[in-house]
Amino acid sequence: MIEAGDDSIVQDGTVNIHGQPADKKKTGNWKACYFILGNECCERLAYYGMSTNLVNYFIERMHQGNATAAKNVNNWSGTCYIMPLLGAFLADAYLGRYWVIAIFSMIYVIGMTLLTVSASVNALKNSVAVAFVALYLIALGTGGIKPCVSSFGADQFDETDEKEREKKSSFFNWFYFSINVGALIASSVLVWIQTNVGWGWGFGVPAVAMAIAVVSFFSGSVLYRLQKPGGSPLTRIAQVLVATFRKINVKVPADKTILYETPDDGSNIVGSRKLEHTDKLRCFDKAAVPTGSDDIKGTPNSWRLCTVTQVEELKAIIKILPIWATGIVFSAVYSQMSTMFVLQGNTMDQHIGPHFKIPSASLSLFDTLSVLFWVPIYDKLIVPFARKFTGNERGFTQLQRMGIGLVISVFSMVIAGILEVVRLNMVRKHNYYDMETLPISIFWQVPQYFLIGCAEVFTFIGQIEFFYDQAPDAMRSLCSALSLTTNALGNYLSSLLVTIVMDMTTRHGKLGWIPDNLNRGHLDYFYWVLAILSVLNFFAYLWISMKYTYKKATGHVK
């Protein structure tokens, strides 16, 4: 256990790469984060450089239709955001965040290399099987990195130190900023290379970027603060459920001091502080009620008697689930940038001057530019201004921040729908039904991309910070992974909506809302569906967030 009061040692239980208590001056803080931000920037450059234009790769190289290609991209993207549950479990339970990032980064590099080979070697260029093996290796690799890297960066700031705790909130903003620096290069330079040079080079450059990401990560090893894994969080959750069931007939006492907890200031969970008892979900308090058969003086059987902190871990997870669920519709809106926005842009005039065409997938750079614009504005201007009125050191609470983003996302779908109405009116007016590219500039799509970028700064960054902050100390990777699954389910929801609307609108010989020739479809109707779902989702979120209470941790980490 770390001795409280030792000013040279970090008090949150972190250790250095050698397993010794982390030194405040030699480890952590921004000097360690620069390597993490460099890693994230290059990794996201690799990911977006490969994924941004993937729908066109499926259409051009794999000869798939619009709806099929969109569903394949959504399903693969969804898998990329489901796999973090595996990486997070390994990090929290056994390996720690550092080693999970290191191992899964290697898998990622192998996947990127195989994808490059499949796009370059003539014998493999049309092989769907090889391409999908590569893509799902990448999904596995990103599954180990994504749930750990933001939490690993936040671990570099001591939560028991007021000055470092303030820096941690700023870290999440700049972490997301670094993501979008990589995305900016991907959606501009790399998409252009894929469109004008070839898919081999277009995937090869991201593979090199991923290799650089690995080098950047390992370069900062001696500076990192590592949180020790706390054992299987799923086992602890199961213990609370079993103990509660065993004591189903036990009455929870009105005096909460009777509930079992370790006598010292530290929790018996490695890497975790104690959590204060809360009055919500009191049925689970039964697991912490001592009975005559429980040995509270020795080491109780955790399958019969759990500590208050262990019970509160489960409560914390259950409490954030409704907030988590409201992120699914937002993620479905966000996923349109890599599918429907690209398909919509394919039908518009992509020329910049007489000789240069901008690929439709490159329009996502305006989403990235929006994020790069709004992050410093939010961090340096909006937060100090809002702080004067709210009194909150963050400017807005995490829940308020996410809610603002949800509102902005509605307008992005409305703008996209209006543009499609204008585009289809031009088709009908001039009989452009079979015209591949309409004489309407693709840059009319910029507002819908820009609004989604603004929404991201509020909702996604707020979400990252919320799930890190509200997670029990020993479950932070798992909760970060849980937040990422909203992206997965958002992609799956989008894929499901495409399937449903195509099934319902292609009956009786009709082409449906999203045919291969969008000039004969009604993509605007699909945007209206998403706008309506977003409005309903916001009101559900408003009701849920008003009932939410933030967690309170006490004591120190063992």
CA-wise closest residue to 227 among 154, 169, 121: 154
The Cα–Cα gap between 9 and 26 comes to: 10
In this structure, the answer to whether residues 383 and 334 fall within a common structural domain is yes
Closest to 366 in 3D by CA, of 479, 445, 467, 275: 445
Residue 522 lies in a domain: yes
133 belongs to a structural domain: yes
Structure token pair of residue 151: 């939490």
Q: Give the residue with greater pLDDT, 453 vs 293.
A: 453
**Do 342 and 296 reside in the same domain of the chain?**
no
Q: Which two tokens stand for residue 195?
A: 């469109």
The tens digit of pLDDT for each residue in 443-491 reads: 999 999 999 999 998 998 888 888 888 888 788 888 888 887 888 788 8
Pair (329, 272) in one structural domain:
no
pLDDT tens track for 162-217: 777 777 778 888 888 898 888 888 877 888 888 888 888 989 999 999 999 999 99
Identify the domain boundary among 260, 286, 313. 313
Per the structure, the count of domains in the chain is: 2
Query: What size, in residues, is the chain?
Result: 558
Tokens representing 427 are 């088709």
- Per the listing, tokens 């008003």 go with 546
How many angstroms separate the first and last alpha carbons of the chain?
5
* Residue 17: alpha-carbon gap to chain centroid: 27
The secondary element (H helix, E strand) that includes residue 439 is: strand 438-441
**Contact call for residues 494 and 335 (beta carbons, < 8 A):** yes
Residues 247 and 188 in one domain: no
Q: Identify whether residues 366 and 475 lie together within a single domain.
A: yes
C-alpha 150/C-alpha 476 separation (Å) is: 10
Does residue 473 form part of some domain?
yes
265 in the same domain as 359:
no
Query: Given the structure tokens 């009455």, which residue do they identify?
Result: 251
Contacts of residue 421, defined as CB under 8 A and 6 or more positions apart, other chains included, come to 524
The pLDDT confidence band at residue 1, using thresholds 50, 70 and 90, is very low
Q: Are strands 351-352 and 356-357 parallel, antiparallel or unpaired?
A: antiparallel
Long-range contacts of 433-439 (CB under 8 A, 24+ apart): 433/517, 433/519, 433/520, 434/517, 434/519, 435/519, 436/347, 437/347, 437/348, 437/349, 437/350, 438/347, 438/348, 438/349, 438/519, 439/349
Same domain membership, residue 355 and residue 288: no
Percent of residues, the chain, with pLDDT higher than 70: 96
- DSSP conformation letters of 113-150: HHHHHHHHSGGGTT-HHHHHHHHHHHHHHHHHHHHHHH
**Per-residue confidence (pLDDT) for residue 410, from 0 to 100:** 95
Which residue from 227, 221, 173, 215 is spatially nearest to 477, judged by alpha carbons?
Answer: 227
What is d(CA 134, CA 204) in angstroms, rounded to the nearest whole number?
13
Query: Does residue 2 lie within any of the structural domains?
Result: no
What secondary structure does DSSP assign to 455-497, as a single string?
HHHHHHHHHHHHHHHHS-GGGHHHHHHHHHHHHHHHHHHHHHH
pLDDT of residue 476: 82
Q: Does residue 123 carry a pLDDT above 60? A: yes
3-state helix, strand, coil in the chain (%, to 5): 70, 5, 25
**Tens digits of per-residue pLDDT, 353-387?**
777 888 887 788 888 889 889 988 988 888 888 88
DSSP H stretches of helix in 365-522? 365-377, 383-390, 398-430, 446-470, 476-505
The pLDDT of residue 403 is: 94
> Domain check: are 295 and 363 in the same one?
no
Are 394 and 500 within one domain?
yes
Averaged pLDDT, 508-534: 86
Q: At what angle do helices 97-120 and 29-51 cross, to 10 degrees?
A: 30
Nearest to 454 by CA among 397, 371, 333: 371
Q: Hey, what are 429's tokens?
A: 């007016």
More confident: 134 or 125: 134
**CATH code assigned at 353:** 1.20.1250.20
**In this structure, are 43 and 160 located in the same domain?**
yes
Residues 184 and 284 in one domain: no
Rounded to whole angstroms, how far apart are CA atoms 98 and 227?
9
| Greatest C-alpha distance within the chain | 86
Asked whether residue 123 is domain-assigned, the answer is: yes
pLDDT tens string 393-427: 777 888 999 999 999 999 999 999 999 999 999 98
Last residue of one domain, picked from the residues 313, 344, 371? 313
C-alpha span between 267 and 275 (Å, rounded)? 9
Q: Under a CB-based contact definition with an 8 Å cutoff, are residues 297 and 254 in contact?
A: no
Do residue 506 and residue 403 come from a single domain? yes
The packing angle between helices 446-470 and 128-154, to 10°, is: 60
Residue with tokens 């993490």: 36
Q: Which of 280, 313, 346 is the last residue of a domain?
A: 313
Residues 6 or more apart from 90 whose CB is under 8 A from it? 100, 144
Q: Which tokens sit at 443?
A: 């840059």
**Percent of the chain whose pLDDT exceeds 90:** 25
Q: Is 275 helix (H, G, I), strand (E, B) or coil?
A: strand
Helix (H) or strand (E) holding 357: strand 356-357
Distance CA 367, CA 375 (A): 12
Q: What range does the domain containing 550 cover? A: 29-229+314-554
- Does residue 511 belong to any structural domain of this protein? yes
pLDDT at 557: 59
Quick check: is 319 in a domain?
A: yes
Element (H, E) at 356: strand 356-357
- Measured between alpha carbons, how far is 215 from 144 in angstroms, rounded to an integer? 17
What whole-number distance in Å separates Cα of residue 415 and Cα of residue 528? 10
Alpha-carbon distance of 208 to 96, in angstroms, equals 26
Whole-structure pTM value: 0.78
Question: What are the CA-CA distances from residue 533 to residues 313, 414, 526 (Å)?
Answer: 32, 12, 11
Domain presence at residue 176: yes
Q: How far is CA 366 from CA 181, 260, 264, 362, in A?
A: 12, 54, 53, 8
What is the average pLDDT score of the chain? 85
- C-alpha to C-alpha distance for 405 and 454, rounded to whole angstroms: 7
